[in-house]
Structure 1
């Protein structure tokens, strides 16, 4: 599959606020640099010395300056925990690491439902055998396939304007069938295909290799699951390659760092509270503990596919609203709200 490069303009603008002046000082024509950053001049027509000079100005490597277009595009899912802490990469691979009963197959089904709303064609690629809890994912996918040839036949019928999302069982990855499929796709399909890998056996939790290279890792948390706080994704341990090389806006990155710091400290304090009680906390730690409680509760979210069982209407929360509300909680603007008032809702 041919993949085009583009300049990492977000990195350039952040590191070099006055790019025109800096470029001129390096002997570059400001008009040329401007046309490169806006896409008027394709990267393929840029002189090597120009790109080297830009990497010098931004104090970065060429690998950081030149990025694949499909590698930097995130898919907004409307799920607060994913969009904030571990964004889903279009054309990438996301791995769900969980033990059975922690809700990973529910999340898979929910993502199928949401991505279909975004005009994705969704395929469930699973071994042809009974898997407990897979029914929701099957009913929310456009089709179910158990071998590579079936998927290729299905893809031939997909509208050219649709993206493709494939949910894959880890057993297929381990068998080598997924790698074979990806190789064939690279030769036969121009548009990127996005993959979701789930482990229906729960063995990946104890496996050092997990799934191999991933663009997004969503690690589930047993403590959250046992307290019925879903999606039970651990925001501290989950991550995405979009957090690297400054692909995300500064407000997003700052929110991630601050929220993870608060949640780490909250979990340390929660251990102390469980053992010795809240009265042993210093005043400052008590504030941190209660804001952590609220932030943790805020990341619970009702799903569309579970509406018949929970009687709660599914919600879609934009990334910008999530960032705004997370900041409000961390700033103490939600201190007057009870923790239960933040459970299973959209925005504040």
Structure 2
């Protein structure tokens, strides 16, 4: 059963499984901590907002200056797991457990995992892949484009991508979105050397739609409002699927790229496009 994160790029292309294990992979400075904070915010408000006055948080600390082997750093992960199991088994609750990060735990003795030099083949992340139900990979290249969350839609994976779990519409949309992005990636070397003018009309259309998809996968975070000044947005899965299917079908080919950047649902995209058009006309 999928667990909605209310993040378009995750729910559409690499959905999380309720009760599953998720790996969050990324190098330093690409937004892992902010993404974790937003996931906590979204899941807490979406699934437990009616209980906001009751304490549902337990914090376990192992300080970096403590002895790693026999001290708290080696035990803090197991202690946190025990607390989570208590809430699940004794109180019958759905529990969201974050370990940030599991590589330091293994050194001492998301899952959020630090990826040395952005290398996913490093033993730290590579040995973890087989144990996970979903992987969310953060890309420095996407981060440098100013697209957040900087989730790589091609490297991120999920075992939930099945028509029996997600439904036919979602299952049919996600691979096509990834195919368009992959085709764009394959064309980038040609564009860099020869320019857009040397592409066929079909390839130009692929590039235009891929760039819209890439920017539409961005989403303002609630926990980042104090830094960006932009209000956070929730986007439900059904709305995401319908919106991206519309992009694939060419319904929004006439919209500018900036109209799909850092917005919520497709209605906000259309409203932003109209605003940009009015400003340009004046």
For residues 37-52 of structure 1, the aligned pairs below 5 Å read none
For residues 127-206 of structure 1, the aligned pairs below 5 Å read 127-129=62-64, 146-149=76-79, 152=82, 156=86, 160=91, 162-168=93-99, 169-171=101-103, 174=106, 196-200=110-114, 202=116, 205-206=120-121
1:232–1:147 Cα change, 3 Å: closer
**Alpha-carbon separation, structure 1, partners of 2:225 and 2:180:** 31
Q: Tell whether the 8 Å contact from 2:25 to 2:115 is kept in structure 1 after alignment.
A: no
For residues 55-70 of structure 1, the aligned pairs below 5 Å read none
Q: Tell me the CA shift for residue 175 of structure 1.
A: 5.5
Q: Say if 2:218 is the partner of 1:300.
A: yes
Q: What residue is the counterpart of 1:246 in the other structure? A: 164
The structure with higher relative contact order (CA 8 Å, sep 6+) is 2
Q: Tell me the CA shift for residue 129 of structure 1.
A: 2.5
Deviations 1:220-248 (CA, angstroms, capped at 9, x unpaired)? 11210111111111111111111258322
**Alpha-carbon separation, structure 2, partners of 1:205 and 1:127:** 26
For residues 266-305 of structure 1, the aligned pairs below 5 Å read 266-305=184-223
Output the TM-score relative to the length of structure 1: 0.64
Q: CA RMSD in A?
A: 2.6
Output the TM-score relative to the length of structure 2: 0.78
Q: Tell whether the 8 Å contact from 1:124 to 1:167 is kept in structure 2 after alignment.
A: no
Q: Which has the higher helix share?
A: 2
**Alpha-carbon separation, structure 2, partners of 1:226 and 1:333:** 29
What stretches of structure 1 move > 6 A for 4+ residues in a row? none
Q: Tell whether the 8 Å contact from 1:122 to 1:164 is kept in structure 2 after alignment.
A: no
Q: Tell whether the 8 Å contact from 1:107 to 1:231 is kept in structure 2 after alignment.
A: yes
**Alpha-carbon separation, structure 2, partners of 1:94 and 1:263:** 23
**Alpha-carbon separation, structure 2, partners of 1:288 and 1:147:** 46
Q: Tell me the CA shift for residue 284 of structure 1.
A: 1.0
**Alpha-carbon separation, structure 1, partners of 2:17 and 2:9:** 15
Tell me the secondary structure at the aligned position of residue 96 of structure 1: strand
**Alpha-carbon separation, structure 1, partners of 2:251 and 2:168:** 22
**Alpha-carbon separation, structure 2, partners of 1:251 and 1:245:** 8
Q: Tell me the CA shift for residue 146 of structure 1.
A: 3.1
Q: Which has the higher strand share?
A: 1
Q: Tell me the CA shift for residue 343 of structure 1.
A: 0.4
Q: What residue is the counterpart of 1:217 in the other structure? A: 135
Q: Tell whether the 8 Å contact from 1:291 to 1:329 is kept in structure 2 after alignment.
A: yes
Q: What residue is the counterpart of 1:94 in the other structure? A: 22
Q: Tell whether the 8 Å contact from 1:123 to 1:165 is kept in structure 2 after alignment.
A: no
| Residue segments in structure 1 that go unaligned for 5+ positions in a row | 1-72, 131-144, 178-195
**Alpha-carbon separation, structure 2, partners of 1:125 and 1:329:** 44
Q: What residue is the counterpart of 1:33 in the other structure? A: none
**Alpha-carbon separation, structure 1, partners of 2:172 and 2:184:** 18
